[in-house]
Chains A and B, each alone.
Chain A
Amino acid sequence: MYEQKVPLVRLAKRDGMPGWQAWCIRLASILVALILGGLVMMIALPDGSNPVAAYGTIITGALGTKTAIRQTVKIAVPLLGCALAIAPCFKMRFWNIGAEGQITAGAIAASYFALYWVGRVPSVLLIVIMGLAGAIAGGLWALIPAFFKAKWNTNETLFTLMMNYIIIGVVRWLQGGPWEGRPGSQIIPNFDQSVWLPKVLGVHCGWIIVLVLVVVMHIYMNHTKQGYEIAVIGDSVNTARYAGMNVGRIMMRTMFISGAISGLVGFIVAAGANNTLYDGVANGVGFTSITVAWLSQLNAFAMVAISLMLAVLSKGADTLQTKLQVPASISDIITGILLFCMLGCEFFINYRLIFRKQGHKEGAKS
């Protein structure tokens, strides 16, 4: 009788898998995703072209020429920057999904200085001020939900989500109202050229800023006292309290840092890529970067690879659209499939499936 009650498949936690094996599973999941994506493309492509060639188009479209590489990097920079911002929050199990809004808040503050302070201070100084203003604004915008979480345990997932749309609405108001360029245009004029982020190797220097942030964030998360506090809170809030940590304060501090980095990204996007402010300044980056951060296991260096991968997909799909008339939304679909597969594969890294064996006493083993 006992054997029949053993389920067909049961689960057990793995005691850590060798690193290479885990990465093999992750690579396999990417492969599976690409195959599934290929199936989707077979429906979408005009007759007679095969998905492998389409992937080829995506790769060459994203990395084939110098201009293409520059554009791909331009897409990857905000993704990477925001993923870095989100990492400490998620490590703390504080589900900050408000990066979208924090980017926007940062971009607004930076734009204010770009529009109204130009000519009053030297341009190098002004760019620094813009960056600082962006960081502070993003940080403060993130601080609001953190404050309520710390004080009244308000649900931060829903709160940060709502904050996105509030600040994006503010940009729409600025666009059509106080900051509007030509009356009726609903567009904020371009910044003066003197406050554009300088270019290094053909791409605005935001990429250097985020690469520095990668190293800084890695050190912050793994080798500082504050990073350790974040890790403890993430594992157990009660332990943190017992150890005498001021959980509320750490939460607010971490959220401020996170928002500040997102705000800095907002500044980079506004001053480097768009050279103006509009309501799509974040353009979904805040959401996509959450998946980047999570898929990288909150590892700063892995984020570089994953954000580049998504950027290649997104840039390549644009090429696919112009060359083969495939709607560019195919990149969202493939990105989605990729995320699903990579999210799902962690299960096989963390758990072991144990199948029922016939005529074998399972009970004795465990």
Chain B
Amino acid sequence: MNMFLALIVAAITYGTPLLFGTLGEILTEKSGNLNLGVEGIMFMGGAVGLGGVYYYEKAVGASANGYLAVIIAIACAFLAGAVASLIFSFLTITLRTNQNVTGLALAIFGTGIGQFVGEYMRVSEGGYISIGNALKGYFANSPFPAALRNIPVVGSLLFAHSIFFYLGILLAAVMFWYLGKTRSGLYLRAVGESPATADAAGINVTRNKYLATVIGGGISAVGGMVYITTIAGCVWNHEGLSGVGWLAVALVIFCMWRPMSAIWGSVLFGALMILYLRLVIPFIPTQLYKILPYVVTVIVLIVSSMRNNKDKQPPANLGLSYFREDR
């Protein structure tokens, strides 16, 4: 029982970065933009977010405010991701380049920038940069008081996670409400399904696509920062972060573009990421556990295409540029 509980807690820790990465990409893809640069965006978010906290602490010293540090980290990461997605948006929406190719270029560029910033901080500060323990706690520890956290079972299940997990759930709920229940969300989905129709109905396709992609990229980037500040312990660790972005792309498919499913989906994927450490089943090599998320995603992809269920499909115009004059 205890081991199972520990597994769930760890799964949530590992799932939280994925949750942000996925939610951002869902928003992006709902507008019909397939941004394959999530990997690069998360790298940038991780490095820049960490840099933001580090320089904040350096400037303020011991008087650093934990909550402000969290906000700074989120803002820096978001900004980095938004800038990266702005490049992507400008190229694919305004200049109508191929989305797959541009996304891959962004993945190369973003991982380069992330690595570079991470390395640069290490070189210019003479050694691995690290954040003070007090400040680290605000990122990795639960925001709830000890009384709640110490309730057996329920405490560690519900109240023991980092602040980002709760923010992620909140964000998922907001996105669910926005995409499903508001007019503006409906417009956004219309743009992703059929931009020509949306355009004819008077919806500003370009603006919707830009906004969704830029904000989505920002959200994804926060995921990279969450990884670095919680799992990697506020140290730049590109090896740990590599692959998380692609997993987020997989998760978008797995949860069928629905923000609420992303919550349990990311916890499940988080569990699959660490299962090999916790649960050793004889005869099944641990390394093969790690491919489970991808295998499951492929199966979901195949089954959903076989069933051809109208609710559970990618946005119809995913990956295609829209040019009004091109009929």
Contact = CB atoms under 8 A, between A and B. Distances in A.
A342 to B, nearest CB: 9
A169 interface: yes
Max chain B Cβ within 10 angstroms of own Cβ: one of A157, A159, A176, A331? A157
Given A97-B36, A327-B116, A162 B301 contact: yes
B120 interface: yes
A162 B297 contact: yes
Contacts, number: 159
Given A95-B319, A329-B112, A329-B115, A157 B100 contact: yes
B126 to A, nearest CB: 12
Interface string B155-170: 0000000000000000
Nearest to A327: B119
Given A169-B294, A332-B112, A340-B87, A157 B302 contact: no
A362 to B, nearest CB: 15
A13 interface: yes
Interface size on A, as a range, is: 35 or more
Interface stretch (B55-63, B217-225, B243-251): B243-251
Given A329-B119, A336-B105, A346 B97 contact: yes
A347 interface: yes
A339 B120 contact: no
B298 A331 contact: no
B176 interface: no
A56 interface: no
A148 B300 CA distance: 13
Interface stretch (B146-154, B184-192, B227-235, B284-292): B284-292
B113 A333 contact: yes
A64 interface: no
Given A329-B112, A329-B119, A336-B112, A343 B301 contact: no
A119 interface: no
A265 to B, nearest CB: 17
Contacts of A13: 325
B104 interface: yes
Interface in B97-113: 97-98, 100-102, 104-113
Contacts of B323: 11
B243 A287 contact: no
A332 B111 CA distance: 8
A170 interface: yes
B291 A154 contact: no
Given A176-B287, A325-B123, A162 B95 contact: no
Contacts of B253: 155, 158
B250 A339 contact: no
A152 B299 CA distance: 13
Given A335-B112, A347-B96, A162 B298 contact: yes
B314 interface: yes
Interface residues of B, number: 53
Contacts of B95: 343-344, 346-347
B305 A332 contact: no
Interface in A309-348: 325, 327, 329-333, 335-337, 339-340, 343-344, 346-347
B115 A332 contact: yes
Interface stretch (A18-26, A103-111, A122-130, A288-296): A288-296
Contact of A290 (B104, B250, B302): B104
A155 B119 CA distance: 37
A68 B297 CA distance: 42
B132 to A, nearest CB: 26
Given A97-B36, A173-B287, A157 B109 contact: no
A340 B291 contact: no
Nearest to B119: A327
A172 B285 CA distance: 10
Nearest to B98: A294
B275 interface: no
A346 B91 CA distance: 10
Contacts of B291: 165-166, 169-170
22 contacts: A11-B325, A95-B319, A97-B100, A157-B100, A158-B253, A158-B301, A159-B298, A161-B250, A165-B246, A166-B298, A170-B288, A172-B290, A284-B108, A294-B101, A327-B119, A330-B116, A332-B109, A332-B116, A333-B109, A336-B112, A339-B101, A340-B87
Given A97-B100, A166-B291, A330-B112, 19 more contacts: A95-B319, A154-B305, A154-B306, A158-B249, A159-B301, A159-B302, A161-B249, A165-B294, A284-B108, A291-B104, A329-B111, A329-B115, A331-B112, A333-B113, A337-B109, A344-B95, A347-B94, A347-B97, A351-B96
